[in-house]
Amino acid sequence: MNSPSQSLQRTEAIARRELLEVQEYDVRLDLASDEKTFGSVTTIRFRSRGGATFLDLKPVRVNAIRLNGSPVDPDLLERGRLPIQTLEGDNELVVDAVMPFRNDGEGLHRSTDPADGRSYVYGMMFMDAAPSVFACFDQPDLKAPYTLHVVAPEGWTVVANASGTNPEPGVWEFERTQPLSTYFVTLVAGPYFLLEDEHDGIPLGLGVRISMADALEADADELFTLTKQCFDEFHRLFGVRYPFGKYDQMFVPEFNAGAMENPGCVTFRDPLVFTSRVTRGIRIQRASTLAHEMAHQWFGNIVTPTWWDDLWLNESFAEYMGNRVTADVTEYDDAWVDNAYARRQWGLSADLRPSTHPVAGNGAVDASAALQDFDGISYAKGSSILKQLNATMGDDVFFAGVVDHFDRHRFGNATMHDLFESWERAGAGNLDAFTKNWLRTAGPDTIQLDRAAGVVRRTAPEEHPADRSHTFRYAVHADGAWSTRSLTLDGPETPLEVEGDAVVLDPYEDTWAVLLPDPETVTRLKTLLPSVDDPALRAGIWNNVRSAFHSAALSPSDVVDLVVASPPVESTEDSKRRLGAWLLGDVLPLAPAGSVERVHAAALSKLGSLPTGSEHQLAAFRMAISTATDPGELRGWLDVTPDGIDLDLDLRWRLLGRLATLGATDADELRSALEAEPTGESRVAHMRAAVSLPTAEAKALAWNVFTGRLDVANYELEAAGLGMWRGGQEHLTAPYADRYFEELPATVGVRSGWVLADATEFFFPVTSLTDETLERARLLAADQALDLSVRRRLGDAADDLARRLAVRRAYPTS
């Protein structure tokens, strides 16, 4: 029963949907009997045309299975599937099983808070995870109502999709839900700290583990205000009320995604409750995430894609609507600017890879393959294209079609074609050409100015030809000022008479394309960039620079010059999608000697020029920490931080992590820091710092995490991978580059799903910048026997490496 399960094929889903109509689930869970496992009794009532099918089930063991009153042999269960023979008409299936608590962020994830030893549980049923919690027909188009009954340890609180009661200690009974896909079902259980409010007849809740109660109380006014503002705007835009009763937002530990849109009980990663000071960029990220998940209550929850090839109907819409609503009705009116820094290059990089896929109709053959398409294409590119479509249609037609879509498929499933029929009924006209070129054809056009020829060129990717028309604004600097004009490209070349010394194409993200700055513009920007005070223009400039570097059309030296001229403190958070991580991970390793020191000096200079206590000052300080090469300077900051900046937990671990990378601390000091403040945040930061040490023991520790010899939760797994591969430590990590390719295939035996793919990415030998490493990566990624999600992430990592090698070949440093 414990062999790897099979991922549902689309053809199998179609056949099962034609056979079955699920009427209801009744799920009884006993979370109190054991810390490793829990009891799960599922009763499924369904109608069938009669015939053979299968149930999805991933237990530790089965106690009993009965179909229509007759026993079913549990030994028939193989690789997560139980074959059953249904009767024509009504059927009832009862499965009594013991299920595993997990620590990989899927199924029922159980963790212990190191701050106080309390345990917490949450459900994440996404993709193939639901059958490890309850028996089910696990596919998005077999929706049904759920009634949940939970026994939990006394003193725990249990929150689920529907409202519940606690009639006696440890017993929780929940109301019947609206029809839900299996992957929307959740519960959150433990000694959670809860806050309640109400808005427009909707009960609202916020929850977090007890050790973070003070932080939630500090953030609660903002979170409740954002929630109310977003609900009002979604109700105004759609004219369709939120239909799932109460709306709890639970911040849970060790959550893989940013959040999950479970109706009535949205789950978020709990670092979004801020225990240390953060910049505005991170607050915008939280606000837009909150709005994104709320948008899903309509796009995804009221109407759910029939299959994962239309996942853009969930994610592209939630991305577009989340950013739009955040910018329009909350205090974060600069949400689109932050989105440009945080998401644009994520999408463009994904769209340039060999693994690129269309926004719509991505060809997901099974659920495992579909999981890999939750990427920058389905989010950032899809959002950009919907933004264009909205600009073309106008709000009246756009939302009339959307509402028609909701009304026709309420609590059901639909496809892209259903939505486009609704838009055409609303007056959008024939959308076939738009669909073909923008949604069904992969890859971005490349657009660049040829000054000498006086033209702007549009080049479609060779592998994915398309004839796309682009209309966008461009910025011109002339006579000491910036001005904006408009340009339409409806052919391979369009004349453009350059009237200034710098030209920035599409800085305001009116279209989706790779925009490359011309050499003269790059040269002028080294002087002009410090005085650019339009936030959107600055973001557009940096995205053009990033695209050019990614395409080996701009040297690392030029990028460093721009950073030194005007440090991008708007976006130096260490999220892997923002400028800080790109600068540290991609640019500086390829830049000339002394570049790190130049960037550090620029960060210090910027730090001294910014208002005391400002968020930009904090961002500049973080940049200074990450580029520091003098341990004495870092030690000094551990003792005394700059005026306006307090040494909170986050900054302390940033300083210790940088000292670890430089070899200026040791395992004992790091362990003492963890013991002094043993929070979940500290545990993750400690892992990252401990494996960053330039010692054989540190790298062996990281490798034991990768191979599964040391079992850690998902956040620590990521930290171990990110901390292992540090520049300047190649004498220690070189042997592990070979071992990565030798031992990666076996990791399928120690992890699965989301974290299997993540570990492939986190532990890729990013500092091994050799053609041999690239060849090995491509060779292994082509191995058809390898897990599909591993192959996808490995292939993407190989593409990133190939691009870094292309930059080094184009711009060699001595």
Query: Which residue, among 744, 801, 755, has the nearest Cα to 778 in the 3D structure?
Result: 801
Give residues with Cβ within 8 angstroms of 731, minimum separation 6.
none
Residue with tokens 């028939």: 76
Rounded CA-CA distance 379/291 in Å is 14
Residues 6+ positions from 147 with CB-CB distance below 8 Å: 24, 25, 26, 27, 174, 175, 176, 177
Nearest-CA neighbor of 203 among 184, 222, 224, 186?
224
Residue pair 612/643 in contact (Cβ under 8 Å)? The answer is: yes
Residue 812: CB partners within 8 Å, gap ≥ 6?
none
Q: Minimal CA–CA distance to 761: which of 355, 464, 363, 383?
A: 355
Contact assessment for residue 309 and residue 140, using Cβ atoms and an 8 Å cutoff: no
Q: What is the DSSP string of 111-155?
A: EE-TTT--EEEEEE-TTTTGGGTS-B--STT--B-EEEEEE--TT
> What is the three-class DSSP state of 195?
strand
| Euclidean distance between CA atoms 406 and 424, whole angstroms | 15
> What gap in Å lies between CA 521 and CA 517, rounded to an integer?
6
Structure tokens at 706: 């990768």
The C-alpha atoms of residue 462 and residue 476 are separated, in whole angstroms, by 30
Residues linked to residue 445 through DSSP beta bridges, in sequence order: 513
Phi, psi of 630 (to 5 degrees): -105, 110
Q: With contact defined as beta carbons under 8 Å apart, do 621 and 642 qualify?
A: yes
| 3-state SS string for 407-476 | HHCCCEEECHHHHHHHHHHCCCCCCHHHHHHHHCCCCCEEEEEECCCCEEEEECCCCCCCCCCEEEEEEE
**Closest of 185, 204, 183 to residue 194, by C-alpha:** 204
User: What DSSP state is assigned to residue 180?
Assistant: B
Residues whose CB falls within 8 Å of the CB of residue 795, separated by 6 or more in sequence, listed in order:
353, 354, 355, 777, 778, 781
C-alpha to C-alpha distance for 159 and 548, rounded to whole angstroms:
48
438 Cβ partners below 8 Å, 6+ apart? 359, 385, 388, 389, 468, 512
518 secondary structure, DSSP code: -
> What is the spatial distance between Cα 700 and Cα 695, in angstroms, rounded to a whole number?
9
| 552 Rama class: left (phi>0) / alpha (psi -120 to 50) / beta | left
Contact call for residues 730 and 699 (beta carbons, < 8 A)? no
Residue among 293, 615, 681, 718 flagged as catalytic: 293
The torsion angles phi and psi of 35, rounded to 5 degrees, stand at -90, -10
**Nearest residue to 118 (alpha-carbon basis) of 680, 675, 672, 677:** 680
Q: Do residues 31 and 151 touch, judged by C-beta distance below 8 A?
A: yes
Rg (CA), the chain: 27
293 is catalytic: yes
- Residue 694's SS3 state is coil
Alpha-carbon span 624 to 616, nearest angstrom = 12
For the annotated catalytic residues, the residue numbers are: 293
